[in-house]
Amino acid sequence: MAGLYIHIPFCTNKCFYCDFYSGNQLYLLDAYVEALIRELKLRKSYLGSEAIQTIYFGGGTPSLLSSSQLYNILQAVHSIFVVESNCEVTIECNPENINEDYVNYLYNSGINRISLGIQFLDDKVLKDYNRKHDKELIYNALDVINNSSFSNLSVDLIYAVPGISDHFLTWTLKQLLVFDIQHISAYSLTIAKNSQLYWKIKKGEFVETKETSFLSQYQIINEYLTTSGFIQYEISNYAKDGFFSRHNLGYWNQTRYLGIGVSAHSYNLSSRQWNHTNIKKYIRDLSGVSPNIDLTIEELSDNQIYNEYIILKLRLLDGISIDFVKNTFRKDIYDHFLKAITRLGERNYFNFSGDLVIPKPGDLLVADYLSQFLMI
């Protein structure tokens, strides 16, 4: 399996909690799409002979792409790479960009999964965090998608937010599940140092939520969704059977993927590569007769690859494979892993089933703590 990530680093405005790189120079979109296509051609050998099984348009706000821009990118992908017939093709969308014509075009272009950035159902909180839609636009977007040919819809929620009570969070989940939603990603509010929210908290304009709110609301989401037919397959991700995000599982299971666009990351099992974070430089570098890509490359040691395997697998409920660790890494790494996992098992962490070490639901909340014992 190989994945393709296409980064669209444009937003009409910056949400206060976001620290991802993005710009609002929408007049550069056409030139950026042309640069994306040139990078696709230059990096066609990165995945070797592997066929692409997942494509993900992330951002930023990919739903700012016009139908023609999206068409040009997808045509280039199919002309350059071998794409599996059952490829999962996801696009992140904001509710304010959703209408019947656009959704129909997305579906007819070959996109088969929408990830809708809802975040909150409270108009005041949406405004406070600089989101450019309200509750009615969210309901409208969900209606439009549900009445379209799409049958794979994911929504994003943020919890542990000042102003969102436990009662209101429960009401939010109840309102959302009136719609036909197959996947929900629920993230606690994170105070990133590069975000506007961080500085607003420093100035006293916002108050950071208490840890007790995180624990309470995590449990509300977990219990509500799991009793409503959703499976928690990763610490922040819930899906109905058959609707796990194949693209994200590719990241978490450390399969090859190619990232295209400003700030996008790639991984080929032995090294990581990432593009710089400057839209104008990216366009300029890929223009002219000698286009080039300004990449940073990090060769990974065995220890780093092992540590990443542990960190990622502790977020998933499908388990760590003892045989995989034994057959993939050096003997001293395997010996360290076996001692640590035995010690944690004696402290009543994990379930053990044959070759697998399976995190208990409660282990997910302390994944970072447990990883310290297993990492080298």
| DSSP sequence for 110-152 | T--EEEEEEE-S-HHHHHHTT-S--HHHHHHHHHHHHTSS---
For residues 10 and 22, is the Cβ–Cβ distance under 8 A?
A: yes
* Mean local confidence (pLDDT), 344-366: 92
pLDDT for the residue numbered 214: 85
Q: H or E element: which one contains 212?
A: helix 211-226
pTM: 0.94
297/167 Cα distance (integer angstroms):
47
243/296 Cα distance (integer angstroms):
34
* Mean local confidence (pLDDT), 223-228: 98
- Asked if residue 319 has pLDDT above 90, the reply is no
Q: Smallest Cα–Cα separation from 133: which of 113, 155, 107, 104?
A: 155
Residue found by looking up tokens 């599996």 in the block: 84
17/260 Cα distance (integer angstroms):
24
- Residue type at 146? N
- CA distances (Å), 89 to each of 3, 146, 213, in order? 10, 18, 35
Taking residue 147's Cβ as centre, other Cβ atoms within 10 Å add up to 11
> How many percent of the chain have pLDDT more than 70?
99
* Mean local confidence (pLDDT), 27-36: 97
pLDDT for the residue numbered 362: 86
Q: How confident is residue 19, by pLDDT bands cut at 50, 70 and 90? A: confident
pLDDT for the residue numbered 189: 87
Q: Smallest Cα–Cα separation from 309: which of 361, 348, 357?
A: 357
First to last CA, the chain: 28
Q: How confident is residue 200, by pLDDT bands cut at 50, 70 and 90? A: confident
Q: Please, what is the angle between helix 29-42 and helix 67-80, to 10°?
A: 10
Q: How confident is residue 144, by pLDDT bands cut at 50, 70 and 90? A: very high
State both tokens at 185: 């990603």
Residue 247 three-state SS: helix
* Mean local confidence (pLDDT), 91-96: 97
Contact partners, residue 45, CB within 8 Å, separation at least 6: none
Q: How confident is residue 206, by pLDDT bands cut at 50, 70 and 90? A: confident
Whether the upstream peptide bond of residue 58 has omega within 30° of 0, thus cis, is: no
Report strand pairing: 113-119 vs 153-159: parallel
Nearest 5°: phi and psi at 171? -60, -40
